[in-house]
Structure 1
Amino acid sequence: MTPTSSLLATFTPTGRLRASINLGNPILAYQGDDGRARGVSVDLAGEVARLLGVELELVVVDAAGKSVDVVASDQADIGFFAIDPVRGANIAFSAAYVLIEGCYLVKEHSPIRANEEVDQAVNRVVVGKGSAYDLFLTRTLQQAQILRSPTSPTVVDTFLQLSAEVAAGVKQQLEAGARRLGGLRLLDGHFMVIQQAMGTPKSRGEEAAAFLGSFVERMKASGFVADALARHRIEGASVAPAAA
């Protein structure tokens, strides 16, 4: 894990570690009472900066798609994303460090009772634009229509504003919306499990990608990720298993 001079030059071209932090996923990052970004991803970014011996600079965004764009365009050196083949065109991913459930939300009196009933032509599914759920459902839903809210945190409100049949996203985010607004329920189980990973622009080369991959495995094995989840009182997410 000792960084070489060549790694530092390619990994931190500005002399700082610029980390893209997405506040749209509350399991990984959120705005603290002091207005600063906090969370598991922020803690991991700080540890990478410490190992590299450089200052950390946070590039804070409010949606997953924006975070992808920031890293893919070299405006940040690392980011935190759900692994997806579309995103993999320009970003080199580590193995997953956290697993997160993607679930469906419906109105209390909806006739939909199971995940398998969602993909019907009469249903409109609201999802955060550019999120992992958007990418996954775009590939897998054959009949239901997909509607997109600006960000993942606005999914439940958009779902109600459009009077749609289904909302899709992070389980904890949907649960919070249901508690806040009432008259809503989650379908049992999940429609996907998100593999949340770290990533760096592919243009940084294999050494940078390998360093980030080794870092993630070390953070899982050492208990750092588990401790961060507990410290930030995150429920519903689990530490991913070691990479094969």
Structure 2
Amino acid sequence: MTDPHIVRAFAPTGVLRASINLGNPILANRGPDGQPVGVSIDLAQAFAERLGVALELVVFDAAGKSVEAVADERADIGFFAIDPVRGAQIAFTDGYVHIEGAYLVRDASPLRDNAEVDRAGTRVTVGKGSAYDLYLTRELKQAEIVRAPTSPTVVKTFLEQGLDVAAGVKQQLEADAGRHPGLRLLPGRFMVIRQAMGCPKSRGEAAARVLGDFVEAMKAQCFVADALRRHGIEGASVAPATII
């Protein structure tokens, strides 16, 4: 990347500040040394190299905080689920990874199907500000939403408060169910989340196009697929290429 205008648009402070959400284990985790590792970190590093600038990771424990950092321009890029509410301030690329959202219940729950969740008296817990929170806030008409502080604390909140359903990343819920006997996932999924990169809309349409082209190149070159494999991520799929 040699266009100085594009470089300044993405790195006005001289470094590329990437907002990283550790609340989604498919995209980012802490490695053995405590440092963030994952698909989103790999993509951030590759984009910084393309711009020819240093990378600074701005790390958060919840999606909502990560989104706010980019919307407020405390970070230059981020990794988010595409959502129209977030799109008011953030320019999204197309998706690079698709992730399934699932429901978790107790073994004794009468719920057997995703379609049965939206009923009066059912309390569903989600991570505050997560893609699941935004989606279910729009879609659930009768069930009550109870917001946990972060996505990783959803099952803890679900158990401590005696709630009816926990909603979130399928793989995270499966892992939590393995640690807590007496829980099961409802079959299938209630949504597919398109994980994308994004930057503040104020950086301009040219910058947004450059970021979008970068994501498409990373998918086409198998960078995303290789990163998922390298980090041992299962249950997520590379998003299809965008036809322009």
Q: Scaled by the length of structure 2, what TM-score is found?
A: 0.99
Letter in 2 for 1:27: I
1:194 corresponds in structure 2 to 193
Amino acid at match of 2:64: G
Alignment deviations for residues 124-163 of structure 1 (CA, whole Å, 9 cap, x no partner) = 0000000000000000000000000000000001001110
Q: 2:92 matched to which residue of 1?
A: 93
CA shift for structure 1 position 79: 0.1
Q: What letter matches 1:164 in structure 2?
A: L
Partner of 1:208: 207
Secondary structure, counterpart of 1:164 in structure 2 = coil
1-side partners of 2:104 and 2:234: how far apart? 18
Query: Following TM superposition, by how much is the alpha carbon of 1:213 offset from its aligned partner in structure 2, in angstroms?
Result: 0.1
Aligned residues: 243
Q: What does residue range 20-35 of structure 1 map to in structure 2 within 5 Å? A: 20-35=19-34
Alignment of 1:1-244 (within 5 A): 2-244=1-243
Identity %: 68
Deviation at 1:18, TM superposition (A): 0.4
In 2, Cα distance between the equivalents of 1:39 and 1:141?
32
Distance in 2, matches of 1:122 and 1:66, equals: 30
Query: For 1:215, what is the secondary structure of its paired residue?
Result: helix
Deviations 1:166-196 (A, max 9, x none): 0000001101110011110000000000000
User: Following the alignment from structure 2 to structure 1, what is the Cα–Cα distance between the partners of residues 230 and 13?
Assistant: 31
Alpha-carbon distance in 2 for matches of 1:24, 1:4: 34
| Structure-2 separation of matches of 1:60 and 1:193 | 25
AA at the equivalent of 2:219: K
Give the superposition deviation at 1:207.
Answer: 1.2
Letter in 2 for 1:62: D
Gaps of 5+ in 1: none
Tell me how far 1:109 sits from its aligned partner.
1.0
- What 5-or-longer segments of structure 2 have no aligned partner? none
Residue deviations 1:71-111, cap 9 Å, x none? 00000000000000000000000000000000000001110
Aligned-residue offset at 1:11 = 1.1
Cα deviation for residue 22 of structure 1 reads 0.3
Could you say what secondary structure the match of 2:49 adopts? helix
Question: Take 2:96 and 2:144, find their aligned partners in 1: how far apart are those partners?
Answer: 32
Q: Distance in 1 between matches of 2:203 and 2:2?
A: 14
CA distance in 1, matches of 2:113, 2:96: 29
Distance 1:243 1:175 in 2: 31
RMSD of Structure 2 on Structure 1 (CA): 0.5
Distance, in Å, in 2 between the alignment partners of 1:61 and 1:116 is: 33
Cα distance, 1:3 vs. partner?
3.7
Per-residue CA distance 1:20-61 (angstroms, 9 max, x = gap): 000000000001110100000000000000111110000000
Partner amino acid, structure 1, of 2:71: A
Give, in whole Å, the separation in 2 of the partners of 1:240 and 1:62: 25
**Partner Cα separation in structure 1 for residue 17 and residue 197 of structure 2:** 13
Q: Secondary structure at the match of 2:189?
A: coil
